[in-house]
Structure 1
Amino acid sequence: MGKNDFLTPKAIANRIKAKGLQKLRWYCQMCQKQCRDENGFKCHCMSESHQRQMQIFGQNQNRIVDGFSQEFEETFLDLMKRSHRFSRIAATVVYNEYINDRHHVHMNSTQWATLTEFVKHLGKTGKCKVDETPKGWFITYIDRDSETMFKERLKNKRARADVVEEEKQEREIKKQIERAEQFAGPSSIDVEQENILAKELNLEAGVKVGFALGSKKEKEKEKGESSSRMVFDDQESEKVEKVKSSGDSNKNVKSSKSAIEELMFEEERKKEKINRKDYWLCEGIVVKVMSKALAEKGYYKQKGVVKKVIDKYVGEIEMLETKHVLRVDQEELETVIPQIGGLVKIVNGAYRGSNARLLGVNTEKFCAKLQIEKGIYDGRVLKAVEYEDICKLSV
């Protein structure tokens, strides 16, 4: 057995020493060789193989540095994508995970001298969202996969199609309401005109009968009485007809109103069926954290603003007091009701996605009165909207 064979104590000791990470200053990226001490690194730099690699580096150094920089960036982002795809994490934590692989591309062979410069580069190129805090640099991976982008485009396309369909239904309902009003309006006017004409005709007939029968003195009283009776009978019949005609016109108005109300109710029911979902989180609303698991850290019953919604049910919440960012499920969040006159977002139900002004609150029935602002329903007043369907907007 030779002096440095595979199973000799010396060879085993060398392998144990080389197993862990060594100092970065004794690593040669061109030769991909790690030395254990300064003397070993010096001997390596004087070797013929290292000299050949350095000659290659001297011929086109910019290209080689750019290649190492690109490889370092791609490997770093792949690690972020696999391990911390949807989380905000410290840059040092990701870097420590990256250098656990002893065959990684070292940062001293790239165009960035420090981790801070590399993090700033990721922020400028839009590959990560970068935040500087008293605890250091924090980064969040921005997912730009073709599959994810395709899903986002599909989602936006469906949302636009829903809005177009809803506007189309709204226009159709408005046309139906206008038709119902036009149908109800002239009928009531015709009834009134007919009543007026009937009155005139009855009065004229009564007067003519009175004058025609009044010819002799002996029969004046009897004929006067009969003519007066006829006139009074006609007046009574006019009153009865007037009551009937007014009743008919009221019935027509009521029927037209009830038809409009039925159309409105049908519209509300359709929109409620379409827009009622089991998720309600959206960006820009103020919510209250109700997770008792976060009570130890002081976040229980504290308010924050939803900055981002992940997979419809999870929100990134920026706390109003501490400015810390948490990732909380919607089951552990609660809507916030502002003061009367404040702006709210309708987060669920028929008018989901609309902004409204809070006009009043019914504490007994746990509902609120709203007036919608902007959009196709601008100015519409909603009398009974549940607390869970509205949430305060951040100013």
Structure 2
Amino acid sequence: MCQAAVAATGPAARRCHRHRCRAFLPGADFLTPKAIGNRIKAKGLQKLRWYCQMCEKQCRDENGFKCHLSSEGHKRQMEIFGQNPHRIVEGYSEEFEKTFLDHLKQAHPFSRIAANVVYNEYINDRYHVHMNSTKWLTLTEFVKHLGRTGQCKVEETEKGWFITLVHRDEMEEIEGKKRAKRERAEQVEEERQRRMLQEQIERAQKMARTDGGGEQPPGATELRREELEQPLGFQLAAGRGAAAPSAAAHDGQQQRERGARPALAFEEEGGGGASAGKGAAGGRKSKIEELMEKAASDAARAAATEQQQRLDYWLAPGIVVKVLAKKLGDYYKKKGVVLRVVERYRGEVEMSDSGDVLQVDQAELETVVPQPGGTVLVVSGPHRGARGTLVGIDTKKFKAEVKLRGGAQDGRSVWLEYEDFSRWQGTFK
């Protein structure tokens, strides 16, 4: 018998195939029934309540999970979690959503399938992100989230929730992101221009106040004529020449004959100081300031007029609207025609697909933009009540060009916001 067989003790000893005897060798328990059973258990899915997502460790029973919770490694991970718990949960939620949609895109790209079936297929991977580490407590909440974000078409039936993947064009998404970035840049630039203009106005007003107080601002100033309708004349001091006074007197005689007083460019210090001081003390504004004030007043007047013409109710019979009330369930985001307006703010809407008649408040409805060539009714703004034809749509500015029909504005094209008009169920006479 070999030395290994002599040293073999206990149930871990196994047969030495070379010497036909029992010998103790390293790893002797690898083929025991207990070791094989443990490996089989480790391969399959275990209970979710005994899984630690932070440590990515699966325990097989409650005692093992309790021992893991008291370990030093788990305590270190929980300290990290305590520093920023919201961000870690958001990270797990984003990863769970991405991997779930990737599986749905690969396994059921065009199928309408039960959400529970997809989830069971997804969790077959033992290394998946578990739902108990995300912000969604149940699969129903996660499915509703997919429906709200428009990533899946969600339907609730007697057999449970069914989902269908919504395919999006990647180029359209990229263009949408670029468009949003460009609009943000334009808004920032407009705000910067507005601040610069306001600073220039304040600087000009400050200089005008300084001029009115008798103090001359430093630097160059603008040469302005105070009386633009009168011709420019010259008046020189007496004794500086004979021809100059006679010429000035001749010009003055002509001005008196025409009944106007000449505007003097140069005067003596004694005689002209009063009129010059009067012009400075009057604080007369420059043409640029007058034009800026006029433009600002015109814009404010136009905005006030348009605000007066905009009413807080816009429902009208015959227009097509979309229901935005989630509490209405099956009617959510479906279209209907307004049959009658009740007390200005509520309308009786006949749903297009089912024919049901609902009474919905206008706060839970929105206007519908038809395809180019469709008929519309203006429901808000200065052209309220006018009918027209949709000519084109500017998706960047969220506006549409409408050609008005009938009345004094027949044939006129105007640009309107999306909420100022809606699709109209009617024909022109």
* Bigger relative contact order, structure 1 or 2 (CA pairs below 8 A, ≥6 apart): 1
TM-score with structure 1 length normalisation?
Answer: 0.37
TM-score with structure 2 length normalisation?
Answer: 0.34
